[in-house]
Amino acid sequence: MRPWPSRRAILAALIIGAVLHTLTVLWVWRTWGLFGRGNILSWLDFPASLAYMHLDGDPLLTWSLLAGGLQWAVITALLTWVIGRSTRRYPPRDGREDPVQPPG
């Protein structure tokens, strides 16, 4: 069985997606007022925010960090996988061998 060459890229995308979401949520939480930040977090994490939209205050922040972070980590990992898979579908046109594919 051939190893999955995009595993490292997908893991990096998971981490980057979660970190960027965390930074964005914490920035919105600190800079927006009470009315605006709940709306921004709901749209940022939609559709995951439907599960915790009834919360206010710290529980809203906690669930946004957890559920929304998981959602965005999965989205970035899937996008990385799809883009990586689409670039490996066909062999190079210039006659060289694909360095990712094992010979034979």
pLDDT single digits (tens) 10-47: 999 999 999 999 999 999 999 998 778 889 999 999 99
Could you tell me the pLDDT band of residue 2, with boundaries at 50, 70 and 90? Answer: low
Q: What is the token pair recorded at 76?
A: 């970035």
For the chain, what is the mean pLDDT?
Answer: 85
Q: Where are the beta strands (DSSP E) in 3-80?
A: none
Residue 39, C-beta contacts closer than 8 angstroms, at least 6 positions apart: none
Look up the pTM and report it.
Answer: 0.76
Band (3; pLDDT cuts 50, 70, 90) = low
**Contact criterion met (CB below 8 Å) for 68 and 25:** yes
